[in-house]
Structure 1
């Protein structure tokens, strides 16, 4: 069965029913882009796959990556210095153990010389890049990619930003996939709501202005996430001031009457992980409009779209706060859609990993 369809010469993963069989016969080395104790949907999804043999290499065992001043300066010039010696760790691991596949998450810090050496000394090994962020966007692109992308046998990515230029840097298999989730609630139980309107995510000016407008019009808004430390809470705008992940994230979504699904303007996102995660957690979602999301989820049936007209957004929020029956119906429909099995990220990745090019 073909796992993808093609549009404008771009391969796009088919959203077909996934399977609970997550077995893989491949010995796989996984390279994380984050510290061992940080939350990572990609790592958790790969952990759920039962590889014949697997090992994960982390840059650090701390709670978060602590980049040096030198590394930060080089990043300003779009050069990613390998502060944590990931390239050496990969080579050393391959010298001691045999692997059939290497999966590198967000490989902005991987050198082309490292991948060239692997190709030369370990014949038949397949090297896979897994990008969460738009790799050709100025916020993420590093000059390392100019020299490394050509060596990847497969490139998995999410955002369509500048994807037509990928063929210049890589002639091999590339595929775009819709965001998925690792954890999906099996049933929606009854829950006492703790929050009226909730947003979980990073500060952006446009997001703040909309949320502030809602709060100024007697809507109680609660915000979790990074970058909000300079915003003061008030009676209707409660800034929790830290990011939440895992069980706490899902519990908060389920405890909120309305969950805001913003897209990052700075990244020119057309969807993100929360597009699926909010619905998977059993949350009602007001999603920023995107034609890419509209192709997957039905407006006013599985979620509700909004634009950046403040007055229209306020009317929509008030309407759904006052119409719990319709809100619950849409929430349940969205939850059922996600539970059809289309969005299991582990299954999505496994299909691509196992695919013979």
Structure 2
């Protein structure tokens, strides 16, 4: 999506020049009028008023011509830039338009607020990210638009793997709580969007617009990248080791070519996964934990199994030395007894 061209100063210059010329003409006529004798003033009155009328007409015409020229120049510049962007996109087969370090929140919030439909794919979203996205999400929902959010199922084994990738010191259970916090935050956003404006009394009352649709899904899959998409544009981040996706490199992608259709297919595949769970934001998140757990085929049955999913500790050497020591003691005692019996027999002979 190209940025709009800067507004032209041609219109402002036209208005300023027309005003200056009109004022100058008006002052000149008044100067000439008062320099004339009384008899000449009466004769020239009609001509002066005609001149004023002509100046007014000239001013109106100048303003109209200046405004029309201004709008024409702006439209022409916008069309040239749009054609240039189309030519560049046609040559760019990869679909990657630009790159940035970190998620460009300003661009993302503008896209969410202006797009009829927004799709967000993440592992989970921390509170700081959600706080920056919330105003744009509420604005979009207030305009009866649709937002879809995909986050990891809190019981998915991928939660543990992603925790290792980020090298965070939290365990699987704490990461699961982070996802639950994301779901609860989104439920609060949906609740705010459902609150209708106060009804005005009498004839001023207006029917409240229906709120938009905030849909949240939990997927069970090893996350490949984060996606923030709308219209024909998306920002893609990567789940690199030791880096939060929102702080890493992001690519601006044209969804129509190159990498774009692959991202669209990835989102479609997530939506068709049998283990995908639609979260009901109108209900308590805690009450839906069992349904989320049952959607993961290899989910551990007990809470302690999540901790067992971490890297295994090396076994202690005593585990192997103790049995050998006990066995050696038993064999040594038996040998001693046999030696004592053998020694007693030789003495009797």
Sort the TM-score into its range (normalised by shorter chain). Answer: under 0.3
Greater relative contact order structure (CA < 8 Å, 6+ sep): 2
Larger-gyration structure (1/2): 2
Report the TM-score, using the length of structure 2 for normalisation. 0.22
Is the helix fraction higher in 1 or 2? 2
TM-score by length of 1: 0.21
The structure carrying a bigger strand percent of its residues is: 1
